[in-house]
């Protein structure tokens, strides 16, 4: 039997692809710039093994040039260029990636940054352009060729003129339609913003002619406009720099530049991992709570880069909810991207990175607590609740990670203390970690239930947050010590017997108690003589797991 080849309707395929792969049109520029960067990288890699080639980094660049009148946008590079055959093969065949082939042929292993792999990015140009023209001169060739296409209808190739080795991609930008704006792709500010957003860390300069305004030289009243060529991208990503060469100011500047927040970060964490998965990350713990932090509008997540190119603005999977306040970015070469490069194929690598990052944040917070207590308390004021929610909402696995980061107000210290500090101070005969719940420190201070525990000289933790007691119930124990509410029936304390009442007196009590029970009816289960009270005549106490405070919160929750 002869095998019949599938026929692809390339026209339809191209149309489908152009219109359905990408969620945003603007990424066409990211794709073309990535190709230009790959083309320069190829010369760089060739020069490593070819002595006749000399790679002088300064003479390689990418230029983006908009011409509003002619509605053209040009992306010019000084890269390796394409021969006639390469134009045909790489641009004439959908899903053919010359860059992937280059990577394989040259067996590039560590440190390779070549971005291309799917052989489709180039066609993103048709999202913004009616006509795409590519003029290219390959390294080592004397001839230049022009490839031109209006999209689905196919392409032409003919000899052309070009002085320098490299490639020029010329887009004839579409006219605006009723619901689509294309003019923006000719606008200087917009282009600059798109370059900054996606291609800021491309290793070669991305240049643009930028119009600026200045005061006229011999006249400080009038302004004049002038044009100068500027490099738009930062090139060397801060996360690839040596930590030792970076100052706190550098990190703070990056924080501000990236608009992670308007505050100054309380702490930065710079991670470089070169193990089974390679990644770099710069994370920040903000100083102030974002205004929308405890609202639905707040979106957690880190920026995700693949070899320096932005893939996702807020990758939520990188952060657990209890660390949702962390800002920053992750860059990895080891991600399997999907074809649009906007999503990931498998999240195994991502899960590994997320786990790794989680541990790192925890240990950094712990060291902040240990070494810079004041800063930690500031942090805790803003985000402590989130940690407590973390303990509460995840069954078991967060406990270990978070319990040492918790703090509560202490009756003895009159300030926030950790559970570890509490336990290390416990009296020899003390069985439990005691806590008291209430709306505020002042109110808990006045609680009659605290009296006996306090009299014994035991420390009491004050729970003033709704979530506190629920979180503690999840923890159950800390360093094998159980938590005990001061209002629970059995406090585990033997009060010294003050006096023994006569039978007559006890009967009198019983009469009074029965009378009280009668009046209070279903509101209480029982009325008893208490041994824990000192200066107060009466208090409420509970039996079982749910305390009065918890009951109040549960009752207030919507069904």
Provide long-range contacts, Cβ within 8 A and 24+ apart, for 146-150.
147/87, 147/88, 147/91, 147/92, 149/91
Nearer to ligand ADP, 167 or 386 (CB): 167
Member of 14, 35, 36, 386 binding Mg ion (CB under 5 A): 35
For residues 31 and 331, which CB has a smaller minimum distance to Mg ion in the complex? 31
Binding to Mg ion by residue 166, rule CB under 5 A?
A: no
Please state, in angstroms and rounded to a whole number, the distance separating the CA atoms of residues 284 and 251.
9
Shortest Cβ distance from residue 57 to ligand ADP (Å)? 18
Are the C-beta atoms of 382 and 404 separated by less than 8 Å?
no
Q: Which stretch binds ligand ADP (CB under 6 A): 89-97, 228-236, 243-251, 376-384?
A: 89-97
Strand order from edge to edge, sheet including 206-215? 155-160, 144-149, 129-137, 166-173, 72-77, 62-67, 206-215, 223-231
Length in residues, the chain: 559
Other beta carbons less than 10 A from residue 235's beta carbon: 14
DSSP for 143-181 reads -EEEEEE-STT-EEEEEE--SSSEEEEEEEEPPP-SS--
Question: Minimum distance between the CB of residue 304 and Mg ion, rounded to whole angstroms?
Answer: 18
Residues 111-140 within binding reach of ligand ADP (CB under 6 A): 116-122
- Applying CB under 5 A, the site for Mg ion has a residue count of 3
Residue 341 or 532 with smaller CB distance to Mg ion: 341
99 binds ligand ADP (CB under 6 A): yes
Piece of the chain touching ligand ADP by CB under 6 A; list 95-103, 229-237, 313-321, 431-439? 95-103
Site string for Mg ion, 86-125 (x = CB under 5 A): ------------------------------x----x----
Residue with tokens 């927040």: 261
For 449-495, give the secondary structure using H, E and C: CHHHHHHCCCCEEEECCHHHHHHHHHHCEECCEEEEECCECCCCCCC
CA distance 381 to 33: 44
Q: Which is nearer to ligand ADP, 26 or 468 (CB)?
A: 26
Name the residue among 181, 38, 44, 59 with its Cα closest to residue 122: 38
Could you tell which of Mg ion, ligand ADP, none binds residue 13, using a CB distance below 5 to 8 A set by kind?
none
The correct pick among 41, 83, 84, 98 for binding ligand ADP (CB under 6 A) is 98
Query: Residue 221 Cβ, how far from ligand ADP at the closest point, in Å?
Result: 46
Site for ligand ADP in 158-177 (CB under 6 A): 167
What is the C-alpha to C-alpha distance for residues 198 and 27, in angstroms, rounded to an integer?
Answer: 8
Closest distance to Mg ion from the beta carbon of 146 (Å)? 20
Q: Least distance to Mg ion from the beta carbon of 116, Å?
A: 4
| Contact positions vs Mg ion (CB under 5 A) | 35, 116, 121
| Contact positions vs ligand ADP (CB under 6 A) | 31, 35-36, 39, 77, 79-80, 82, 90-91, 97-100, 116-122, 167
């Amino acid at each position: 039997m002869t095998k019949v080849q599938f026929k692809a309707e390339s026209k339809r395929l191209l149309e489908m692809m152009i219109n359905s792969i990408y969620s945003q049109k603007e990424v066409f520029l990211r794709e073309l710039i990535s190709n230009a960067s790959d083309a320069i990288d190829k010369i760089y890699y060739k020069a490593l093994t070819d002595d006749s080639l000399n790679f002088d980094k300064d003479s390689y660049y990418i230029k983006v040039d908009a011409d509003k009148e002619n509605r053209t946008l040009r992306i010019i590079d000084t890269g390796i260029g394409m021969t006639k055959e390469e134009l045909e093969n790489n641009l004439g065949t959908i899903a053919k990636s010359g860059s992937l082939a280059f990577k394989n042929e040259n067996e590039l292993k560590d440190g390779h940054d070549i971005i291309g792999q799917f052989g489709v990015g180039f066609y993103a140009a048709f999202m913004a352009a009616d006509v795409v023209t590519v003029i290219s001169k390959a390294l080592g060739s004397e001839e230049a060729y022009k490839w031109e296409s209006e999209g689905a209808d196919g392409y032409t190739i003919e000899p052309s003129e070009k002085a320098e080795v490299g490639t020029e991609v010329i887009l004839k930008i579409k006219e605006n339609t009723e619901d689509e704006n294309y003019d923006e792709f000719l606008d200087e500010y917009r282009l600059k913003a798109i370059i900054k957003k996606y291609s800021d860390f491309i290793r070669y300069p991305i240049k643009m002619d930028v119009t600026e305004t200045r005061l006229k030289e011999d006249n400080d009243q009038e302004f004049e406009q002038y044009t100068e060529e500027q490099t738009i991208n930062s090139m060397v990503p801060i996360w690839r720099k040596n930590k030792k060469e970076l100052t706190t100011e550098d990190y703070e500047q990056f924080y501000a530049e990236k608009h992670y927040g308007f505050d100054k970060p309380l702490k930065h964490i710079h991670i470089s991992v070169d193990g089974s998965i390679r990644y770099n990350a710069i994370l920040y713990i903000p100083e102030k709570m974002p205004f929308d932090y405890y609202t639905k509008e707040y979106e957690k997540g880190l920026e995700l880069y693949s070899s320096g190119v932005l893939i996702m603005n807020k990758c939520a999977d990188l952060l657990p909810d209890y660390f949702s306040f962390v800002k920053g970015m992750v860059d990895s070469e080891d991600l399997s991207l999907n074809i649009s490069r906007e999503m990931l194929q498998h999240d195994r690598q991502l899960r590994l990175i997320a786990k790794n990052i989680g541990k790192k944040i925890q240990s950094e917070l712990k060291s902040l607590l240990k070494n810079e207590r004041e800063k930690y308390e500031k942090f805790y004021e803003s985000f402590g609740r989130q940690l407590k929610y973390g303990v509460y909402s995840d069954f078991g696995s967060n406990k270990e990670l978070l319990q040492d980061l918790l703090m509560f107000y202490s009756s003895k210290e009159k300030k926030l203390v950790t559970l570890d500090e509490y336990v290390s101070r416990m009296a020899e005969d003390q069985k439990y970690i005691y806590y008291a719940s209430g709306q505020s420190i002042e109110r808990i201070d006045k609680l009659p239930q605290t009296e006996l525990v306090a009299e014994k000289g035991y420390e009491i933790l004050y729970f003033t947050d709704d979530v506190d007691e629920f979180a503690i119930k999840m923890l159950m124990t800390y360093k094998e010590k159980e938590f005990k509410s001061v209002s629970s029936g059995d406090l585990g304390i033997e009060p010294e017997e003050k006096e023994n009442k006569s039978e007559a007196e006890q009967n009198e009590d019983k009469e009074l108690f029965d009378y009280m029970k009668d009046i209070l009816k279903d509101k209480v289960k029982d009325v008893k003589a208490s041994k824990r009270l000192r200066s107060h005549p009466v208090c409420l106490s509970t039996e079982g797991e749910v305390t009065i405070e918890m009951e109040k919160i549960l009752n207030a929750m919507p069904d």
